[in-house]
Chain A
Amino acid sequence: MSFKPVILWTDGMIFLLLALAVAGIWWIRQRPHLLLPWQRLARSRVGMVSALILSLFVLTGLLDTLHYRPALTGSHENGKSAYSTEVVSVLDLILTDLRSHTEKTYSAPLSAYLYAKESLQHADGKIVREFPRLKFGGAHLAIPEQELDGDVFKRTIRGIFAGWVSGMLLVLLIVSVAAARSRVKVRDWVEARRGSPLNAVFATIVLLAILFGVVAHLAGAYHVLGTDKVGIDVLYLSLKSIRTGLVIGTVTTLVMLPFAIFLGIAAGYFRGWVDDVIQYVYTVLSSIPSVLLIAAAVLMMQITIEKHAEWFSSSAERADLRLLFLCMILGVTSWTSLCRFLRGEALKLREMEYIQAAQAFGVSSLRILSRHILPNVMHIVLITVVMDFSSLVLAEAVLSYVGVGVDPSTNSFGTLINNARLEMGREPMVWWTLVSAFSFMLVLVLAANLLADAVRDAFDPRLNRAQTAQEGEA
């Protein structure tokens, strides 16, 4: 084999999450009453567009989760191949060009020159201090001063065109496949969906395809977002940071959910001493200022890791475990509010007639909890999970910035910002790393927030009633 798959801890968590998601989709598809709120969500234009954008982020993150160690070429000893110690992902493989095109140090976006002056020897032997040409950015140009703008323009136009064509083809493909599946003519299929959010989704697909085309065409010859201090392409770094943000936003939830759900509904349903104990536990946890708890726990973990260097076979593994631990700590500090919420809901539900009927029939408590209470609080869980996602992504950046976040070797928005902030004082300013990190984060969090709103509108029964009442009034 030319590669050896590596499953890091967080990879395993993500696969588990993926399996749960697939199982959940299969489960819901069988049950029309569960499908209803999802159909309501599918009617929200903003929701669908943000879901599409988020799914692109998720796709990038998933590609970055398939880790492996490539085989070293030319080292076949007695039939066994040796593998590189470096762990790379499928995303790295796709972005090989971006990854390997490193410059010496900073360079501005779409520039052909390095940011810092160097002593260069001219052909006639004279030594001059000037900005050296980049190794990869605009290297194909003979005289960048004259050709750069024209070349960038040409590539942009070509990118727009290619993106537009492929985006349109993609939309056409989706429409014809969907029409074929529902056995109607393409024209009728389109006609039936006039005014539905699908139009907005298709428009977004085309726009994204154009953006993608432009970036791909430019990235072939330039550093679209510049390079960082050691000359790594910022576009590459930003794409690699996505996975960390997604892991923090989702794995944290995965860690905390079992506790929050079980303890929350158990406290509300059983009341008495169970309730007292559970309430005690979450009051203790939530009364400690969360930043303090996180900072203390992370520093303690750092000490542990330093003491036990022998636990880890590679630095990637160490950084990964630290990421997982950060998720756990964030989970510990964030499950209490959901738990309190669920307890309140379970308190209300246990007085319902159908629960009393189940009790009268002698149904076991565990069965009542899982069959009757749990399905009725799932909408709260879902809304909370989606709402928490964006705040967790934002929290990661702040924590990493203060130094209690992810490992400095892990690519994340926080580390990216942290490394870039010191360069604000330089003349001319190195602004591109900060701008890229913040823009990527803004798009991710904005899409997540908009989706969260759409999910809440679709799933919250109270809100739906209020809305229909309002419409009735008007």
Chain B
Amino acid sequence: MIAYLLRRILYAIPILIGVNLLTFMLFFVVNTPDDMARMQLGMKRVTQDAIDKWKAQRGYDKPLLYNPSAAGTAKLTETIFYSKSASMFVFDFGYADDGRNISREIVTRMVPSLVIAVPTFIVGLLVYISFALLMTLFRGTRLDAAAVALCVVLMSVSTLFYIICGQFLVSKVWHWVPISGYAGGADSLRFILLPVLIGVIASIGSSSRWYRTIFLEEVGREYVRTARAKGLSEISVMFRHVLKNAMIPILTGVVAVIPLLFMGSLLTESFFGIPGLGSFTIDAIQSQDFGIVRAMVFLGSAMYILGLILTDISYTLVDPRVRLA
């Protein structure tokens, strides 16, 4: 198990390097360091001196990927790519173009992101599973068919509709909560209500249907028939047996997403004006702040890989038949 985990973590390193290289190339294929300097200095006519100074200050005065003038391994290390990427592996993200410390910024912005993402995740899971369980309980009836049809319709509605409609109804017609924005502390409840609600509703169709298929697969198993043959009521078959066993595929599917909660939802945050990591990234892309984009992409990929590893571990935890080698 330990050896397996170690191998997985070691395997993550080349992937993270690849991710870094990709972001790097994407950024610098159209933007030279000179362009960056010119944009940051914000003047139409900047002297080459000023540009060179800006580049030297921020370490952009080296070649991009390969330094022919250096010797030995320094050919690769004396480059912008190496000097900017190496420190990321110890989660030191350096400074943004306007001088903010990226790591500190990420830590402070993590809070609003988590405040939105965690309730959405938990409430959503509860709602989808109970909805799916109800559909399974009534499987084969008109009620089930109608619920499935409703799910397909809900799936086909654009997320934008939920957001625009929700913002309109809740904030303009009923005047319950503010339309967007964020405040810390207990006051945040007013602000997170709408994004959480809409986040849950937006994927109710697809998720419930997905969980329903998992439950249905489980209902067809032999042990369910045995349980019924023993004379258990349908309700207790559902809760004591089907739900318990269906938790295996549900849990393992869910675990992969947990680390990504951190990253915040880029879209939700920019729609609702929440100062979390998602809007942080979008703003950075728009102002072409390479430092932040690189840090966020790195963090996102690391979280994704962590999610994959956690999924594997969760398999062994919930299903004793699985052994990691």
Q: Which chain A residues have a beta carbon within 8 Å of chain B's beta carbons?
A: 280-281, 283-289, 291-293, 295-297, 299-301, 303-304, 307, 390, 394, 397-398, 401-402, 413, 417, 421, 424-425, 434, 438, 441-442, 445-446, 448-450, 453, 466, 470
Residues of B within 8 Å of A413, CB to CB, are 158
Beta-carbon contact of B158 and A284 below 8 Å: no
Residues of A within 8 Å of B27, CB to CB, are 296, 300
For the A-B complex with A289-B297, A446-B156, A450-B152 known, give 7 more contacts whose Cβ atoms are closer than 8 Å. Answer: A291-B266, A291-B267, A300-B29, A402-B270, A413-B158, A445-B156, A449-B152
Beta-carbon contact of A398 and B158 below 8 Å: yes
> In the complex, how many residues of chain B place their beta carbon closer than 8 angstroms to a beta carbon of chain A?
41
Complex partner residue of B158 from A280, A286, A297, A394, CB under 8 angstroms: A394
Beta-carbon contact of A287 and B301 below 8 Å: yes
Considering the chains assembled together, what is the distance between the CA atoms of A466 and B221 in angstroms?
A: 12
B12-45 CB mask vs A (1 if < 8 Å, else 0) is 0011001100110011011100000000000000
Considering the chains assembled together, what is the distance between the CA atoms of A295 and B18 in angstroms?
A: 19
Given A280-B14, A438-B158, check contact A299 B286 (CB 8 Å). yes
Q: Which chain B residues have a beta carbon within 8 Å of chain A's beta carbons?
A: 14-15, 18-19, 22-23, 26-27, 29-31, 152-153, 155-161, 164, 168, 172, 220, 260, 263, 266-267, 270, 281-282, 285-286, 288, 293, 296-297, 300-301, 304-305
Beta-carbon contact of A441 and B158 below 8 Å: yes
Residue of B nearest to A429 (CB): B168
Q: Report the minimum CB–CB distance from B13 to chain A (whole Å).
A: 12
Q: Report the minimum CB–CB distance from A204 to chain B (whole Å).
A: 17
Beta-carbon contact of A434 and B15 below 8 Å: no
Complex partner residue of B152 from A286, A293, A424, A446, CB under 8 angstroms: A446
Complex partner residue of A390 from B26, B30, B156, B160, CB under 8 angstroms: B156
Beta-carbon contact of B26 and A297 below 8 Å: yes
Beta-carbon contact of A284 and B18 below 8 Å: yes
Complex partner residue of A288 from B158, B172, B300, CB under 8 angstroms: B300
Considering the chains assembled together, what is the distance between the CA atoms of A281 and B21 in angstroms?
A: 12
Q: Report the minimum CB–CB distance from A390 to chain B (whole Å).
A: 7
Beta-carbon contact of A299 and B288 below 8 Å: yes
Complex partner residue of A289 from B22, B29, B266, CB under 8 angstroms: B266
Complex partner residue of B164 from A307, A394, A424, CB under 8 angstroms: A424
Residues of A within 8 Å of B285, CB to CB, are 292, 295-296, 299
Considering the chains assembled together, what is the distance between the CA atoms of A307 and B26 in angstroms?
A: 16
Can you offer 28 A-B residue contacts whose CB atoms are under 8 A?
A284-B15, A284-B19, A285-B22, A286-B304, A287-B19, A287-B300, A287-B301, A288-B300, A288-B301, A289-B297, A289-B304, A291-B266, A291-B267, A292-B281, A292-B297, A296-B27, A296-B297, A300-B31, A301-B30, A390-B156, A394-B158, A397-B158, A398-B160, A421-B164, A424-B172, A445-B156, A446-B156, A448-B156
Considering the chains assembled together, what is the distance between the CA atoms of A445 and B263 in angstroms?
A: 29
Residues of B within 8 Å of A291, CB to CB, are 266-267
Residues of B within 8 Å of A307, CB to CB, are 30
Considering the chains assembled together, what is the distance between the CA atoms of A434 and B18 in angstroms?
A: 42
Residues of B within 8 Å of A398, CB to CB, are 158-160, 267
Residues of A within 8 Å of B301, CB to CB, are 284, 287-289
Beta-carbon contact of B155 and A449 below 8 Å: yes
Residues of B within 8 Å of A453, CB to CB, are 152
